[in-house]
Amino acid sequence: MISLHTSPLDQPGTGDAGGMNVYVIELSRRLAAQGIAVDIFTRATASSLAPVVEVADHVLVRHVAAGPFEGLTKGELPGQLCTFAREVLRTEAAHPLGHYAAVHSHYWLSGQVGALARDRWGVPLVHSMHTMAKVKNDALAEGDTPEPLARVIGEEQVVSAADLLVANTDIEAKQLIELYDAEPGRVEVIHPGVDLSVFAPQPKDAARWALGLPGDAHVLLFAGRIQPLKAPDVLLKAVAVLLEQDPTLRSRLVVPVVGGPSGSGLEHPESLAQLADELGLQDVVRFVPPVAQAELATWCAAATAVAVPSYNESFGLVAAEAQATGTPVVAAAVGGLTTVVADGRSGLLVDTHEPRDWAAALGRLLSEPDLAARLGEGALEHAREFSWDRTAERTLAAYERAHELMRYEASDEVAS
């Protein structure tokens, strides 16, 4: 595995750490449980990090020194690709020939390194985009920064080089084919999973007591990185509309925002808190630093609803995790969220980012407890469709298929 720009050991919810971090570590653990040893290469961001960390039986995280440990932005990382790639190749050279059977790269920066390793080692490259510049630029949040042309070109190169592309959803597969000219026969749709042993139903009263929340509160939760793409401001503006329409809600309304600044949100890390002040929500909104998965599960279980108002999501792991606790999700009808959230069955999808539309959807769950209960039951049922064990099984089959595609391509070249 190559996860150059963010380590699977980093705490999701801040910086560049998010659903991809969870994806890499959980998939690696499940592959190891099926007898596949996994090395995860990531860039070292502190001198105190051990060169190699064993995170589970047969799962190693290898910290590669490439550039300064701190202060390097994601936009500056392309300048460290050669150094990073050299260290990856050097690690393989210390082992017997054929030590690695496949390379699975995550995000376009890793794909650039993976393409070099593929050619050098003669093994297939499987790549997961996680996010795509062309998709993001087509749905920019107000004030967000477009992805640079260098990333677009880099992604096109990785799509061309990969033996197999793993898409999280049918929508992502279609985007790869239509926007990046990926060969349909080289795109495999594999849903990410949820750790159903962690994200499981909990008594709502007990979850709220553990977090210091009133038992009778209306709890509207946002969990994720605080940046324009994730649109937590849409939730706050919707809450302001709800309170304008019904001021009596204020005494019972709690809006936890669990996460930290990320991406272009780092340029104005206090902007969301300032917005809460401007909207008069100081007594309603609670800012909570990123938390471990077990505590996040408690926050989800404590919520009346979880809001995912992102402008784009390749999958939307938080939505799947929330549903696994039996909590309905109100999500934007974009990208993978239309797969993760079953509209009217496990939650509600909103076609716009207009605060009044979001207030209407959230207000339904607050005013119609029977609807909230029914969607909560549907959320629990829908979440069972997303299992990391199933993801690992299908990914392992994708590695085998990538080998076949590579062999076919090689034989075709010889024949011609």
Tell me: is residue 225 an annotated ligand-binding position. yes
With contact defined as beta carbons under 8 Å apart, do 139 and 229 qualify?
no
Bridge partners of residue 253, in order along the sequence: 218
Tell me: is residue 11 an annotated ligand-binding position. yes
Tell me: is residue 17 an annotated ligand-binding position. yes
Q: Please give the Cα distance from 404 to 84 (Å, whole number).
A: 28
Tell me: is residue 151 an annotated ligand-binding position. yes
Tell me: is residue 303 an annotated ligand-binding position. yes
Alpha helices, H only, 252-332: 271-278, 293-302, 317-324
Name the token pair of 153: 């070109």
Q: Please give the Cα distance from 124 to 130 (Å, whole number).
A: 19
Tell me: is residue 131 an annotated ligand-binding position. yes
Give the distance, in angstroms, between the CA of residue 148 and the centroid of all CA atoms in the same chain: 21
Tell me: is residue 212 an annotated ligand-binding position. no
Tell me: is residue 107 an annotated ligand-binding position. yes
Tell me: is residue 5 an annotated ligand-binding position. yes
Tell me: is residue 241 an annotated ligand-binding position. no
Tell me: is residue 321 an annotated ligand-binding position. yes
Return the SS3 of 137. helix
Tell me: is residue 313 an annotated ligand-binding position. yes
Tell me: is residue 260 an annotated ligand-binding position. no
* Beta-sheet pairing, 305-308 with 218-223: parallel
Q: Please give the Cα distance from 257 to 365 (Å, whole number).
A: 19
Name the token pair of 169: 């959803």
Q: Please give the Cα distance from 309 to 329 (Å, whole number).
A: 10
What one-letter code names the amino acid at 326? G
Tell me: is residue 19 an annotated ligand-binding position. yes
Tell me: is residue 129 an annotated ligand-binding position. no
Location of structure tokens 């050619």: 119
Tell me: is residue 359 an annotated ligand-binding position. no
Binding residues: 5, 11-12, 16-21, 74, 107, 131, 151, 225, 230, 291, 303, 313, 321, 327
**Residues that constitute the known binding site for 1D-myo-inositol 3-phosphate:** 5, 16-21, 74, 107, 131, 151
Tell me the binding residues for Mg(2+): 303, 327
Known binding residues for UDP-N-acetyl-alpha-D-glucosamine are 11-12, 19, 225, 230, 291, 313, 321
